[in-house]
Structure 1
Amino acid sequence: MATTFAFAAPSLSSSSRAFARRAPIPYHRSPNHLRLPPLKCSSSEPETSVSPADWTHKFIAGAAGLGFLETSYLTYLKLTGDDAFCPVGGGTCSDVLNSDYAIVFGIPLPLIGMAAYGLVAALGLQLASDKLRFGINKSTAQAVLLGATTSMAAASAYFLYTLSTRFSDSSCFYCLLSAFLSFTLFFVTLKDLGLQEVSKTLGLQLLVATIVILTLNTSYNSSKSGSSSLAEIELPYYATEITTPSSPFALSLARHLHSIGAKMYGAFWCSHCQEQKVMFGREAAKELDYVECFPEGYRTGTKMIKACIDAKLDGFPTWIINGQVLSGEQELSELAEVSGYKESVQPS
């Protein structure tokens, strides 16, 4: 027979139930001074900013880099003898760039400018990145930068004076651009250092500028004294008449040379050029493709015409026949052999 057990929960009195409904549940309230401030979510990497000094040094490096490119181009032209492209003023750029003022003690002025701009650009980049090399500190680098820009500004002032007095009828875009860059670099460097620091080195700056101007003036005075006698050489163009009659062979050879595009380069004052024409004779010489390299006459500093420059002549006369270069006066038989002349008419 199964036995059933029953458990009865204890009952609460009505007063106990009322207390349970009304009594609040206790909890702990944090004091105000322990409350946490609102959290801000941010990146763990520190914020980076570029100081005004860094931007100044980057500007110096950029402006000097532009000057370096300009002077590199002018150095290339000076070493190769090519004419400069002048966006302003036409061909008068060459009057200045090929003058005695473009050489300082035998060194091309653009090459000196290229070295100066390169130094300033390198210093600007190193100061901007705070990675100075060769064991120099920031103050030393700034002092070198100030000295370099002072030298460039002094030289530019001297050249602007020379340009306005010696080349008043010429314009030089590259000279003006270089002067603008030099003065800009100088004043930006002064602003970067501040008035107080600049005042400490004012005497040194004046000394550097004086040395630069005296050096340039000495160089140009010495070059003038050395070339004063040559500067007076002037030969107006003249034509020499050939009276010797041409032989049938010379006339036939001249026509053959003309037909294959052979050219003879010469100068009106060259005696060997005249003797070469005399070999051909009066009629045959007129058939030759002769290129006069100084059609406007010659004076010291006069350059050959572009066709002669492009031919890269070493002297006069010069023959170019089927791509082969023959320098000096040539026998007619040699010209016939080189040009492939095979006519029945033979030299007498």
Structure 2
Amino acid sequence: MASFVNISPSPLLLPRTRHLSPPRFSFSGPQFKNYWVRGVGMLRFKCSLEPRPDNELEAETSASSSSSSSSISTYSWCAGLGGLGFLETAYLTYLKLTNSDAFCPIGGGSCGDILNSDYAVVFGVPLPLIGMVAYGLVATLGLKLAGKNLPFGISESSGRLILLGSTTSMAVSSAYFLYILSTKFAGVSCSYCLMSALLSFSLFFIAVKDFGLQEIPRAVGLQLCIACLVVATLSTSYSSTSQPVSTSLTEIDLQPFTTEITTQSNPLAVSLARHLQSIGAKMYGAFWCSHCLEQKQMFGREAAKLLDYVECFPEGYRKGIKMAKACADAKIEGFPTWVINGQVLSGELELSELAQVSGFKAEEFSQLN
């Protein structure tokens, strides 16, 4: 069969000025079949070389902008939290330098007791003043890094490293002071101390997050050196500090008095008291200590008389009176304190806890719960 090409409509019938639609070609015959396949293949090849859509470029630009905004936001957080800490420590510095009483929303006058203690001074420098300088430095660094306007020709990488070192020292110091607060000031609440610790830890984690997991290993050595230096400095400063006695307590003059136990003892409490006495367990306390009285009330009048109780201030409490030698030798730091089988237990304890620690009979111990 002969091959042919039909062209419809004929070019002679179309206006010469413009083409409203392209001419339609109809192919038939084997010689045009291969050409048609090759043409389609070429068209497909050209489609694969088209440039990327504009939305992909916009996505990359948006991601870059988002990363930059995140970095600026991190420094802004540091500046904001640092400024808040600066205001808090500035207030405490004013109180310390003017010997004013601190307003403590939680804990009553305990904030003032801590602020006036020996632990509120490091080598003669008020601790709030040191904190004010540290928070001020962090706030300034945050502002400068956010505005990319560091002074003295400091590069951004160096500024970030200084920020990490500063927040590391503050976090380690806060952890150290929380330890002091829990061991030397047991039962005392200090809202300013807790707030400062929260700010320090928050700043530290923000600075660490800004570095990322890939950069942090490079700075671990610096952080460890700073942590060791801070702990060594504080430990050296407080090495000669004795048991904390606040200024307000040194003005108190208490004469010794006896307290009355009003509760009745049950047989199990009496048995437990005899057991504690038989194993040499001792209860150290002070005549003014309300928790000591509550501990005795748990045992009752009869059982309390069987306890080996050691009064740490038999001559009363006033300036110049020292703790009884037996209590000082046992390194008693709070009341009441139990020493059972060589184990030191601080605070008011339930009878079931005392029974368990002392090895009281199991069948009687179950009845105490």
Q: What range is the shorter-chain TM-score in?
A: 0.5 to 0.7
Residue in structure 1 matching 2:319, options 295, 299, 316: 299
| TM superposition shift of 1:220 | 1.2
Map 1:57-68 → 2, pairs under 5 A: 57-68=75-86
Aligned-partner residue type, residue 236 of structure 1? D
Structure 2 CA distance for partners of 1:194 and 1:237, relative to 1, 3 Å? closer
Map 1:98-177 → 2, pairs under 5 A: 98-177=116-195
Corresponding residue number in structure 2 for 1:263: none
Percentage of pairs with the same residue: 55
Corresponding residue number in structure 2 for 1:27: 17
RMSD across aligned positions (CA)? 3.5
Corresponding residue number in structure 1 for 2:57: none
Residues 306-345 of structure 1, C-alpha deviation per residue, up to 9 Å, x if partnerless? xxxxxxxxxxxxxxxxxxxxxxxxxxxxxxxxxxxxxxxx
| TM superposition shift of 1:164 | 0.4
Residue in structure 2 matching 1:86, options 93, 101, 104: 104
Structure 2 CA distance for partners of 1:25 and 1:147, relative to 1, 3 Å? same
SS at match of 2:240: helix
Corresponding residue number in structure 2 for 1:181: 199
Map 1:186-225 → 2, pairs under 5 A: 186-224=204-242
Structure 2 CA distance for partners of 1:24 and 1:64, relative to 1, 3 Å? same
Give me the whole-angstrom Cα distance separating, in 2, the residues matched to 1:236 and 1:24: 121
| TM superposition shift of 1:167 | 0.6
| TM superposition shift of 1:197 | 1.1
Map 1:272-287 → 2, pairs under 5 A: none
Residues 101-127 of structure 1, C-alpha deviation per residue, up to 9 Å, x if partnerless? 100001000000000001011111111
SS at match of 1:182: helix
Structure 2 CA distance for partners of 1:67 and 1:27, relative to 1, 3 Å? same
Count matched residues. Answer: 207
| TM superposition shift of 1:27 | 3.2
TM-score (norm 2): 0.50
Structure 2 CA distance for partners of 1:73 and 1:29, relative to 1, 3 Å? farther
Give me the whole-angstrom Cα distance separating, in 2, the residues matched to 1:236 and 1:145: 49
Give me the whole-angstrom Cα distance separating, in 2, the residues matched to 1:222 and 1:201: 34
Give me the whole-angstrom Cα distance separating, in 2, the residues matched to 1:24 and 1:234: 117
Residue in structure 2 matching 1:236, options 243, 246, 253: 253
Give me the whole-angstrom Cα distance separating, in 2, the residues matched to 1:202 and 1:30: 74
Structure 2 CA distance for partners of 1:170 and 1:51, relative to 1, 3 Å? same
SS at match of 1:207: helix
Corresponding residue number in structure 2 for 1:309: none
- Verify the 8 A CA contact 1:156 1:179 in the aligned structure 2: yes
Corresponding residue number in structure 1 for 2:49: none
Residues 1-43 of structure 1, C-alpha deviation per residue, up to 9 Å, x if partnerless? xxxxxxxxxxxxxxxxxxxxxx9875346999xxxxxxxxxxx
SS at match of 1:90: coil
Residues 232-288 of structure 1, C-alpha deviation per residue, up to 9 Å, x if partnerless? 9877389xxxxxxxxxxxxxxxxxxxxxxxxxxxxxxxxxxxxxxxxxxxxxxxxxx
Give me the whole-angstrom Cα distance separating, in 1, the residues matched to 2:199 and 2:156: 23
Give me the whole-angstrom Cα distance separating, in 2, the residues matched to 1:185 and 1:195: 17
Residue in structure 1 matching 2:90, options 72, 80, 91: 72
Structure (1 or 2) with the greater helix fraction: 2
- In the alignment, structure 1 segments of 5+ residues that lack a partner are 1-22, 33-45, 239-296, 301-348
Corresponding residue number in structure 1 for 2:26: none
Structure 2 CA distance for partners of 1:234 and 1:91, relative to 1, 3 Å? closer
Give me the whole-angstrom Cα distance separating, in 2, the residues matched to 1:106 and 1:31: 95
- In the alignment, structure 2 segments of 5+ residues that lack a partner are 1-12, 23-60, 256-316, 321-369
- Verify the 8 A CA contact 1:95 1:170 in the aligned structure 2: no
- Verify the 8 A CA contact 1:77 1:83 in the aligned structure 2: yes
Structure 2 CA distance for partners of 1:188 and 1:299, relative to 1, 3 Å? same
Corresponding residue number in structure 1 for 2:324: none
| TM superposition shift of 1:223 | 4.5
Aligned-partner residue type, residue 184 of structure 2? R
Corresponding residue number in structure 2 for 1:55: 73
Give me the whole-angstrom Cα distance separating, in 2, the residues matched to 1:237 and 1:87: 28
SS at match of 2:153: coil
Corresponding residue number in structure 1 for 2:301: none
Give me the whole-angstrom Cα distance separating, in 1, the residues matched to 2:107 and 2:251: 26
TM-score (norm 1): 0.53
Structure 2 CA distance for partners of 1:132 and 1:169, relative to 1, 3 Å? same
